[in-house]
Amino acid sequence: MAVKCDPYHTITEEKPEQRDVYHDYKDCPQGSRIKPENWQSGKDGRPRCDDCIDMD
């Protein structure tokens, strides 16, 4: 089962599909690709990631 966590996002623009969204599942395929140095806690006013929505 997917495990929910506190919202997080990436501060980089390395991949277009990773921009401007936040994640709240640890197992999100997009969120799990965020490198530790680019990981940032919080929503940052962004919409929710489509993959995270699909895991509800």
CA distance 51 to 48: 9
Q: Where are the alpha helices (DSSP H) in the chain?
A: 50-54
Q: Which of 7, 10, 31, 34 binds Zn ion (CB under 5 A)?
A: 31
> Are 39 and 5 in contact, with CB atoms under 8 Å apart?
no
> Minimum Å distance from CB 51 to Zn ion?
4
| 28 touches Zn ion by CB under 5 A | yes
Residues 32-51 that bind Zn ion (CB under 5 A): 49, 51
Q: Contact positions toward Zn ion, by CB under 5 A?
A: 23, 28, 30-31, 49, 51-52
